[in-house]
Amino acid sequence: MRKLQQEMDLTQILFSLMFILLMIVACFWVVQPFILGFAWASMVVIATWPLMLKLQALLWGRRTLAIIAMTLILLLLFIIPVALLVNSLIDNVGPLVAWATSGNLHPPQLNWLHQIPLVGSKLYTSYHLLLDGGGSALMAKVQPYVGRTTGFFVAQAGHFGRFLLHLGLMLLFSILLFWRGEQVGNGIRHFAFRLASRRGDAAVLLASQAIRAVALGVVVTALVQGVLGGIGLAISGIPYATLPTVLMILFCLVQAGPLPVLIPAVIWLYWSGDTTWGTVLLVWSCVVGTLDNVLRPVLIRMGADLPMILILSGVIGGLVAFGMIGLFIGPVVLAVSYRLVSVWMHEAPMPDEDPEDVVEELAEHEEEVTQTNSEH
């Protein structure tokens, strides 16, 4: 009878586990369309929560007024500019595709090479010898690949509607999280404390610090460098400057910097004979390219007292592994793991003995063991 009862208990446990797994899968299936928007909203709210509290203090302690102010800030500084940027990108990429696929790609004459002292005439002669020897044929071979690459970016822009949907969901979830932020945060901390005691609570707090560090140190720096670089491109006369600006922001997010976009623009200006604006853009590129060395460390320290190499490694690895949302996931995982391992290590005191004394003691111990074995 007892054995039968044990078998029934085992069967009950198995069916209970199957039911729980089924409910988890069903819940994930239901909320799957909202996961990306909720994840971005969580990152935005965590990164801007201190700003919301300051606004609430300024607005006579009224949470409603602070939420309205934060919603307007998100609309004016993030959602509307991003929507306009993507819309402008779609509008401007049409002529770029037509130019790239028209077959009218002809190499320029580069008459400005004559102005270079000493070697200008030789460079001009060598360049035209290259063109006469098959430069036009080379451009004809390159042209289909340029068209395919541009067409790929146009195809990616076709997801504009889905992108706007996620932006709208992000704004909606951000408002809800701003309204009930304390309850949600306490619930997450309670769950983490129930799961792993004080270390779980510490992991949640470290995750929020890492998100703020990434938002301040990486995202803000990328936006500043991208916008300044885009202003330089527009002033210097680069056509369709919106697309290079977007590319610059993406390159800055992956820690490649704005120079992979600015340097080709400088070369194109010199190539087309506009040496004055080419020189201006070259100087401006040097300023924008080195701005992150000053701005990023200061902003990261404002968000969290974590090693900068840890944050940057997490940003690059997270982008490669998880896409854009990995921009925050990677640093959070590395920061939490780093702090938990550091706390675990510091629970034991550091060795006070001299390394040479430790080696000598180890050698003496080995000799004693060897002598004992030889006696036996």
Query: What predicted TM-score, i.e. pTM, was given to this entire model?
Result: 0.66
117: CB partners within 8 A, 6+ apart? none
Cα–Cα nearest to 207, from 335, 326, 302: 335
Q: Give the pLDDT confidence score for residue 69 in this predicted structure.
A: 92
Tell me the per-residue pLDDT of 316-332, one tens digit each, with 9 for 90 and over. Answer: 888 777 776 677 778 77
Tell me the per-residue pLDDT of 20-44, one tens digit each, with 9 for 90 and over. Answer: 899 989 988 988 888 888 888 888 8
58: CB partners within 8 A, 6+ apart? none
Q: Give the pLDDT confidence score for residue 288 in this predicted structure.
A: 92
> Which tokens belong to 240?
């369709």
Cα–Cα nearest to 269, from 257, 277, 260: 277
Domain boundaries, the chain: 35-179, 197-348
C-alpha span between 300 and 306 (Å, rounded):
8
**Spatial contact of 279 and 116, defined as CB atoms under 8 Å apart:** no
Cα–Cα nearest to 222, from 321, 323, 299, 331: 299
SS3 of residue 159 by DSSP: coil
C-alpha span between 43 and 61 (Å, rounded):
24
Q: Is 306 left (phi over 0), alpha (psi -120 to 50) or beta?
A: beta
Please state the length of the chain.
376
C-alpha span between 314 and 333 (Å, rounded):
8
C-alpha span between 162 and 63 (Å, rounded):
31
Write the CA distances from 13 to 3, 53, 133, integer angstroms.
15, 47, 79
Amino acid (one-letter) located at 12: Q
* Residue 182 DSSP label: H
CB atoms within 10 A of CB 280: 16
Q: Could you tell me the end-to-end alpha-carbon distance of the chain, in angstroms, rounded to an integer?
A: 58
Cα–Cα nearest to 236, from 273, 271, 265: 265
Tell me the per-residue pLDDT of 182-240, one tens digit each, with 9 for 90 and over. Answer: 899 899 889 888 887 888 888 888 888 878 877 778 888 888 898 899 999 989 888 77
Integer-rounded Cα radius of gyration of the chain? 30
Low-confidence ranges of the chain (pLDDT < 70): 1-8, 81-120, 123-124, 127-161, 163, 303-305, 324-325, 352-354, 358, 375-376
C-alpha span between 99 and 119 (Å, rounded):
33
Q: Give the pLDDT confidence score for residue 283 in this predicted structure.
A: 92
Q: Give the pLDDT confidence score for residue 151 in this predicted structure.
A: 54
